[in-house]
Structure 1
């Protein structure tokens, strides 16, 4: 093997050489190499996947100087170095197979130039990838490391056009199929992505591929644990409210200890204010359209039950909202239930950032009231703060009156059983109020509690056919007795019954009562 390997550009090197804060994840590098060869890891965008991939790369290249003071410095064989092929699909946007093939060939050419190797099959990405691995192995008398970052991004870039997405998937399937016959030439293979698509050859072709996405032992491979946050950022957190930071940015779980999104933490410490930094880096338009298409009942986002196959891989022909919500990071695992051979996962929002931001987007899309939402939200918050129930009523009346009639015709919303209750729920959550669903089994109604300054406001929202409210929502709320659970924690408890006429598309009954 040649002594010197070309290095290339390294994000890990930049972080280690400049005054950045680095949470040591290198114990996972050693563990992965000790336990296997082929791995796949799925995590939401901007969760540190790319940095971890580059950490692997620098370790295999033998750059010991970058690991001083880290776990790997004394737990790695630095006498052995390996050539690394690092394919990164995260740096651009692909809108078709021609652009994808060009991008693959460009990255393969960059590796040829880096390692001073010439491949005969310069215009055939499949043959060129295979030839590059074989020639690297021969030149350095060594096995080759293959790292692929954001393997699925070309598919996600085209996901709103299913046929184009399928064509892109087939190109990737052909590309990744190179790996299986070359087991003898491969030292280590690690691939990351946001989603686990079926029919990409990767998961069916590599028999030894281990998916560590939902693995307790690798649950904190990306993201910051509470301990890591408090130790690494001790000085910056001295005057900060740790519990509020946890509520805003912690809560992502893959069967192990919950973690923070690194992107959020770093920007919060820099800007010194709470803001949905991570959420604003994505555009969930496809997801929102899918929820509308499936007539999804939004309050169920608080408490979904899913099987392991539902949150695992999915086919472009059959995408379920629960699957996509989990994989993109808008829902996370809150609880695992094991019944004999059946494993069930309880899913919910990871934190306040996602709950507020996602519901703002959903409300704006479901009602076409994006410009009116801030004004209505402010009025609702003021009404709750002031205990002004007439103002609560008028705010909700303004909300539903503002929904364009043409919007109903375009989307057949009159057939969407849970539409009005979903809008009500999304509006309250998106306003930043602390919302707790109590009973969300009936799509014609919703029971929820808003907690505000040691006060509990219990709402019953009921869709009725008649034009005049009869007080049944309030009576039903009293019968259920949900207010009793707040007897010890809330100083004031209010019951609010709202009856909504589907015919008139607005509130026809609004009754409230204070519990003494």
Structure 2
């Protein structure tokens, strides 16, 4: 096997320091033209993006720019755009690294940061509050340097996200952080630029009501590509890596690029027309560095707050493909324990697929295959007694059986899967069983074309292999004969392309909590 051609090029996987990235020769997708537009058009900004989408690197780049480190921008777009390089005092607060499970943790983080700034600018904290100290630091930095201050806040909402299930602690954090952040309102005469990032926009946080001039660019077409990567950027920057991926996966260049798109593209952060779909940068860089496809972003860690929320909510997974929500719910909501959809969008597990201007609503879905199948894998133990590692062999063997046309073996395997299912079939659990059917067939979609359509009282699926097209109808309340007749009556498949059509009607046995009689037509 030949050596991958990208061996000696350094890809910035997980690199959050712009200075380190540039000085150590890592590749960089040039976002500095957009950064120049930001700093020249406005003063106070907020940006929401999913984790590992480049927010920290963006803030580090802004810090290097405002500190006047022109040498780091050699060869980049901003080198030609900026004619005057000044050095501003920069206060960079990063809340991303700490685990906020107590009031002491947050206080320690703020204390360390404030003490560092106080040492730099000779401020005696005395008996001042956090907000008083922050305000004094800003004013003193301005007076000492003669330049207005730049404030950068990374993951401002991290303490709030980690305490959504502890209302008392979250309220404590809210009061502390609100007082701290709203200093930026009174300090406006001393400020040159403010940029705040996070995952979600907490409507109850005083930062957004007090700083009413804060420009939320999270949905702006103008800055849609500020974080993440476009296909054009990938193909312009990583040609050797794409060639290596092509070689290692034994595909053509076009096939490799298309697979990269299916796996990691599809994020949309604006309702406007003319948007550019965005790729997940962490996954793209990981795939190019390793010359193989994988579930890199999801494997890097599902946020704890989302895990707990999904455990507590009555979420119907079948609704996620194309679920419609109001514009306001995505732009203004914080975390609501009974409504995980906004936070699933803001966290990157769902994205905008369609915007309906006449109703000001969005249709959401999974952005790409990595997120779709990784999320469904994760959801398995929430709805079944099995982990994904245990259900995976069922899925793989089932796919083999359907590819070979052995429908009886597939149905027997599905029967074994439900053999130890713990729930009695009743009004409350009927939807639960339907979701399990949905999960099984949707997970098969990794290896086949699997479509799952569900409606009240029934669950049906279509699975396409190279030689067969299967149409399934499962009756939770009815007979196998009725299920098979429904396939014929409804005409689920109106066009057949030469593959053998197999119709399968299955009755679910409520007493056995398992598949009952089935008919194949």
TM-score (norm 2): 0.88
Deviation for aligned residue 1:131? 1.0
Residue 360 of structure 1 contacts residue 427 of structure 1 at CA under 8 Å; is this kept in 2?
no
**Once superposed, which parts of structure 1, at least 4 consecutive aligned residues long, lie more than 6 Å away?**
none
2:263 is the alignment partner of 1:248: yes
Deviation for aligned residue 1:414? 6.1
Partners of 2:518 and 2:44 in 1: CA distance? 60
Task: Give the match's secondary structure for 2:518.
Answer: strand
Partners of 2:230 and 2:434 in 1: CA distance? 36
1:3 alignment counterpart = none
Q: Structure 2: which 5+ runs fail to align?
A: 1-14, 247-252
1:501 to 492, 495, 509: 509
For 1:91-490, what aligned pairs fall within 5 Å after superposition?
Answer: 91-113=97-119, 115-121=120-126, 124-238=129-243, 239=246, 240=253, 241-255=256-270, 256-284=275-303, 286-291=305-310, 293-316=312-335, 320-339=339-358, 342-370=359-387, 371-403=389-421, 405=422, 408=423, 415-431=428-444, 432-434=446-448, 437=451, 439-440=453-454, 442-453=455-466, 455-464=468-477, 469-484=479-494, 486-488=495-497
Residue 442 of structure 2 contacts residue 451 of structure 2 at CA under 8 Å; is this kept in 1?
no
1:5 alignment counterpart = none
Task: Give the match's secondary structure for 2:183.
Answer: coil
Task: Give the match's secondary structure for 1:148.
Answer: strand
Q: Structure 1: which 5+ runs fail to align?
A: 1-8
Residue 312 of structure 2 contacts residue 337 of structure 2 at CA under 8 Å; is this kept in 1?
no
1:6 alignment counterpart = none
Deviation digits for residues 196-237 of structure 1, max 9, x if unmatched? 112111111111111111111111111110111111011111
Task: Give the match's secondary structure for 2:227.
Answer: coil
Deviation for aligned residue 1:188? 0.8
Partners of 1:454 and 1:20 in 2: CA distance? 47
72-81 or 141-150: bigger deviation: 72-81
450-459 or 385-394: bigger deviation: 450-459
Partners of 2:490 and 2:306 in 1: CA distance? 34
Structure 1 residues 427 and 184, CA gap change in structure 2 (3 angstroms): same
Structure 1 residues 208 and 455, CA gap change in structure 2 (3 angstroms): farther
361-370 or 416-425: bigger deviation: 416-425
Structure 1 residues 119 and 418, CA gap change in structure 2 (3 angstroms): farther
Partners of 2:426 and 2:35 in 1: CA distance? 51
Structure 1 residues 184 and 77, CA gap change in structure 2 (3 angstroms): farther
Deviation for aligned residue 1:249? 0.9
Deviation digits for residues 97-123 of structure 1, max 9, x if unmatched? 22102111111222233x342232476
Deviation digits for residues 115-163 of structure 1, max 9, x if unmatched? 3422324763211111111111111112111100011111122233333
RMSD of aligned residue pairs (Cα, Å): 2.3
Residue 297 of structure 1 contacts residue 443 of structure 1 at CA under 8 Å; is this kept in 2?
no
Deviation digits for residues 39-85 of structure 1, max 9, x if unmatched? 11111110101001111111111111011111111112433221110
Task: Give the match's secondary structure for 2:470.
Answer: strand
Partners of 2:259 and 2:394 in 1: CA distance? 25
Residue 288 of structure 1 contacts residue 362 of structure 1 at CA under 8 Å; is this kept in 2?
no
2:71 is the alignment partner of 1:65: yes
